[in-house]
RNA sequence: GGUCCAUUCGUCUAUCGGUUAGGACGCCAGAUUUUCAUUCUGGAAAGAGGGGUUCGAUUCCCCUAUGGACUACCA
């Protein structure tokens, strides 16, 4: 019988959501939806010291923007709650006691200071079968002594008791079987004295079991501790329902080596967070994809292909398509360098797909800022003419300002190149000809283009000698869409005004 | 140091023993265009090294090298 697919994304609320975390969540989501499963949002806040206010809300808002909905979890509800680990204290205590009772864990009194000292003293010290008998714990102390110490309020941790020299196999969907000898594992702390909370390892296994998680899809950084997790399932007797593991390769720095960090974004000038984030402690602001003008679907598409591909050449995919095509087996085993340039390209593609009216709405604030009035319909038309040359809405203004503002100056190099001795004569002739056109003729792109060009030919004028200075006069530079796509929208009066002004200014 | 994971164009990647090693981003060139872009066409660009296995290895195995992750009372 196939088990119901239930996967989770379980971040720690220690700050903004890293883009690598977004990818992990995305893969979980794609996998869940493909299998008609459930996607659960759990908060792993068992480290009270690292808690950052606002982080949870930030993460939630990020997924909302990205268009990745959860079925269950913190703020979504569900039958397996609470979904915040800090609210599950009692649950963990019970399972820790179970481990203690059946001898898979023991109590240790060694303080962090003592352990530090030990590590100074012994190179590569590891708390394990080879050393636990020389430490202060329930294995070396008498039962009474242990009870006394606890009664006296002495702090203690609970450690897993790892039997050495056992072969542990982690079945990984992406990597195959990973074999590890248990001797290299240490007696990991499962329950902390500092805040009376379990560590990640314990909480993770208990929650995944209780929440009936079927697949654990997480970052590669967890692979080394996966053998411990397998052992814990065994200790609890839950091996038959143990989730299947899939460890995802990491997102790497674009240049050099190492995994992608927030610093790389600052250094190279690109966001590593979905949304802008303000560190509540330092007030430091980190840019976000949303604020940088990215479309969520572009970010998703880009991220999806960093470490996965459908096995063919298809690159542009909707969420629906990705849900159909996604395969954990097709995830790459090696890390992917973060190629920001390609991210821009994805945004370019999705910008082209966007409806012009939608883009107009996004562009309106910029227009207001520039003090320009324009109705939405006309703006959408203009955007339709210029968007092919843009990757971001923020690039619109530079490509279309001349539809609203007459040039104040003229590109010098262009003047030098295109403004010849007889240019004033040609432009004056053009002005005179345009005067003879009706508004109706002029405002039609096709008609005005046809008429002006044939006029040029009939006069024996070189087209370039007329059109280039014409453009220079109207735009202020040699750039922009087709000339008549500009002038038709500007209208005859404004066009002529600009040409006359150029004639005065340049000549 | 130890353990584990990885290694195809600059980058993301395809290839499930036999291919002129394919695509995309970026780059370069040409075409189109009255301009700049867009677009189109073309180009340069890769199997880390060494051993095996095999009629034949990018593909399977081993070693080396390189890179990465982990090695906390953090996740």
A254: nt with nearest C1' to CA? B11
Helix A226-236 crosses helix A89-101 at what angle (to 10 degrees)? 80
Q: Residue A68: inside a domain, yes or no? A: no
Q: Residue A261: inside a domain, yes or no? A: no
| Residue A1 confidence (pLDDT) above 60 | no
A14: nt with nearest C1' to CA? B75
Q: In what order do the strands lie in the sheet with A189-191?
A: A105-108, A157-160, A189-191
| Residue-level pLDDT at A117 | 92
Question: Which CATH number do you get for residue A485?
Answer: 1.10.10.350
Using a 7 Å CB cutoff, list residues 180-219 of A near strand B.
180-181, 184, 186, 189, 192-195, 197, 199-200
Average pLDDT, chain A: 94
| Reduced DSSP (H G I as helix, E B as strand, rest coil) percent helix, strand, coil of chain A, to 5 | 50, 10, 40
Q: State the Cα–Cα distance between residues A252 and A18, nearest whole angstrom.
A: 12
Domain stop point among A200, A221, A248: A248
Please report which confidence band the pLDDT of residue A176 belongs to, taking 50, 70 and 90 as the band edges: very high
Contact A89, A196 (CB under 8 A): yes
Q: State the Cα–Cα distance between residues A20 and A302, nearest whole angstrom.
A: 12
Report the candidate in A179, A266, A281 with the shortest Cα–Cα distance to residue A226: A179
Q: Residue A218: inside a domain, yes or no? A: yes
Q: Which alpha helices (H) appear in A154-256, and where do they start and end?
A: 200-210, 226-236
Same domain, A416 and A483: yes
Q: Residue A112: inside a domain, yes or no? A: yes
| Residue-level pLDDT at A484 | 94
What is the residue range of A229's domain? 88-248
Same domain, A240 and A382: no
As a whole number, mean pLDDT of residues A206-223 equals 97
Using a 7 Å CB cutoff, list residues 375-404 of A near strand B.
388-389
Q: Residue A359: inside a domain, yes or no? A: yes
Q: State the Cα–Cα distance between residues A291 and A275, nearest whole angstrom.
A: 7
Same domain, A381 and A437: no
Same domain, A376 and A453: no
Domain stop point among A190, A224, A248: A248
Cβ density class A426-461: b for 16+ within 10 Å, e for less: bbebbbebbeebeeebbbbbebbbebbeebbeeeeb
**Is any atom of strand B within 7 angstroms of residue A467's beta carbon?**
yes
Count of domains for chain A: 3
pTM for the whole thing? Answer: 0.95
| Residue-level pLDDT at A100 | 96
- The complex's ipTM works out to 0.95
| Residue-level pLDDT at A507 | 65
pLDDT digits (tens, 9 = 90+) for A278-302: 999 999 999 999 999 999 999 999 9
As a whole number, mean pLDDT of residues A253-276 equals 89
Q: Residue A134: inside a domain, yes or no? A: yes
Catalytic residues of A: 262
A418: nt with nearest C1' to CA? B35
Same domain, A126 and A200: yes
DSSP A194: S
pLDDT digits (tens, 9 = 90+) for A316-366: 999 999 999 999 999 999 999 999 999 999 999 999 999 999 999 999 999
**Is any atom of strand B within 7 angstroms of residue A335's beta carbon?**
yes
Same domain, A416 and A377: no
Q: Which of A21-30, A135-144, A249-258 has the lowest mean pLDDT?
A: A249-258
Query: In terms of C-beta density within 10 A (0-12 exposed, 13-18 middle, 19 or more buried), how is residue A17 classed?
Result: buried
Report the candidate in A397, A378, A395 with the shortest Cα–Cα distance to residue A485: A378
The residue behind tokens 């240019």 is A423
Q: Which of A208-212, A244-248, A428-432 has the lowest mean pLDDT?
A: A428-432
DSSP A4: P
A185: nt with nearest C1' to CA? B3
Same domain, A152 and A199: yes
pLDDT digits (tens, 9 = 90+) for A377-413: 999 999 999 999 999 999 999 999 999 999 998 998 8
Neighbours of A129 (CB within 10 A): 17
As a whole number, mean pLDDT of residues A125-150 equals 95
Same domain, A388 and A469: no
Torsion, Cα of A312, A313, A318, A320 (10° steps) = -10
Same domain, A382 and A416: no
Using a 7 Å CB cutoff, list residues 271-290 of A near strand B.
none
Question: Which CATH number do you get for residue A135?
Answer: 3.90.800.10
Q: Residue A139: inside a domain, yes or no? A: yes
Token pair in block for residue A452: 């002006």
Quote the radius of gyration of chain A (alpha carbons, Å). Answer: 33
The residue behind tokens 């939630």 is A60
How many angstroms separate the CA of A178 from the C1' of B62?
A: 18
| Residue A82 confidence (pLDDT) above 60 | yes
As a whole number, mean pLDDT of residues A479-486 equals 94
| Residue A78 confidence (pLDDT) above 70 | yes
Same domain, A115 and A168: yes
As a whole number, mean pLDDT of residues A82-104 equals 96
Q: Residue A117: inside a domain, yes or no? A: yes
Same domain, A232 and A94: yes
Question: What φ, ψ does residue A224 adopt, rounded to 5°?
Answer: -60, -25
Note the residue count of chain A. Answer: 507
Which nucleotides of chain B are near protein (any atom < 7 Å from a CB)?
1-8, 10-15, 22-26, 33-39, 67-75
Closest residue (Cα, C1') to B25: A342
Same domain, A117 and A163: yes
- Collapsed DSSP state (helix, strand, coil) of residue A433: helix
As a whole number, mean pLDDT of residues A239-263 equals 91
């Amino acid at each position: 019988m196939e088990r119901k697919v239930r996967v989770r994304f379980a971040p720690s609320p220690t700050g903004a959501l890293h883009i690598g975390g977004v990818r992990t969540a995305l893969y979980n989501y794609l996998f869940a939806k493909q299998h008609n499963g459930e996607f659960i949002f759990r908060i792993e806040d068992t480290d009270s010291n690292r808690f950052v206010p606002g982080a949870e809300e930030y993460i939630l808002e990020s997924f909302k923007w990205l268009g990745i909905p959860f079925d269950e979890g913190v703020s979504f509800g569900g039958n397996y709650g609470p979904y915040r680990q800090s609210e599950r204290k009692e649950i963990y205590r019970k399972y820790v006691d179970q481990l203690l009772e059946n001898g898979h864990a023991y109590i240790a009194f060694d303080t962090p200071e003592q352990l530090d000292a030990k590590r100074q003293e012994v190179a590569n010290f590891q708390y394990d079968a080879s050393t636990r008998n020389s430490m202060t714990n329930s294995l070396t102390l008498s039962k009474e002594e242990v009870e006394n110490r606890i009664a006296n309020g002495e702090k203690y941790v609970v450690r897993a008791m790892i039997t050495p020299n056992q072969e542990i196999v982690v079945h990984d969907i992406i990597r195959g079987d990973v074999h590890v000898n248990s001797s290299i594992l240490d007696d990991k702390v499962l329950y902390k004295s500092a805040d009376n909370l379990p560590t990640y390892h314990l909480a993770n296994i208990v929650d995944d079991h209780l929440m009936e998680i079927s697949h654990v899809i997480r970052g590669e950084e967890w692979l080394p501790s996966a053998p411990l997790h397998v052992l814990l399932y065994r200790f609890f007797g839950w091996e038959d329902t143990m989730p299947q593991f899939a460890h995802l390769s990491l997102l790497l720095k674009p240049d050099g080596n190492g995994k992608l960090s927030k610093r790389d974004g600052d250094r190279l000038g690109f966001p590593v967070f979905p949304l802008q984030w303000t560190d509540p402690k330092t007030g430091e602001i980190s840019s976000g994809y949303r604020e940088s003008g990215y479309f969520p679907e572009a970010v998703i598409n880009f991220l999806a292909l960093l470490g996965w591909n459908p096995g063919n050449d298809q690159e542009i995919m909707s969420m629906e398509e990705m849900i159909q095509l996604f395969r954990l087996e097709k995830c790459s085993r090696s890390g992917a360098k973060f190629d920001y340039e390609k991210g821009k390209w994805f945004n370019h593609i999705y910008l082209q797909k966007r409806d012009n009216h939608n883009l107009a709405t996004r562009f309106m604030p910029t227009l207001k800022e520039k003090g320009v009035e324009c109705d939405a319909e006309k703006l959408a038309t203009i955007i339709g003419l210029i968007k092919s040359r843009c990757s971001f809405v923020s690039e619109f203004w530079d490509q279309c300002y001349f539809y609203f503002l007459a040039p104040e100056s003229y590109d010098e190099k262009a003047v030098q190149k295109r403004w010849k001795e007889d240019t004033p004569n040609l432009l004056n002739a053009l002005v005179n000809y345009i005067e003879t056109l009706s508004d109706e003729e002029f405002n039609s792109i096709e008609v005005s283009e046809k008429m002006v060009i044939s006029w040029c030919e009939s006069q024996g004028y070189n087209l370039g000698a007329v059109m280039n200075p014409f453009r220079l006069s109207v735009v202020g530079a040699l750039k922009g869409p087709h000339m008549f796509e500009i002038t038709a929208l500007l209208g005859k009066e404004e066009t002529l005004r600009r040409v006359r002004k150029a004639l005065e200014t340049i000549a």
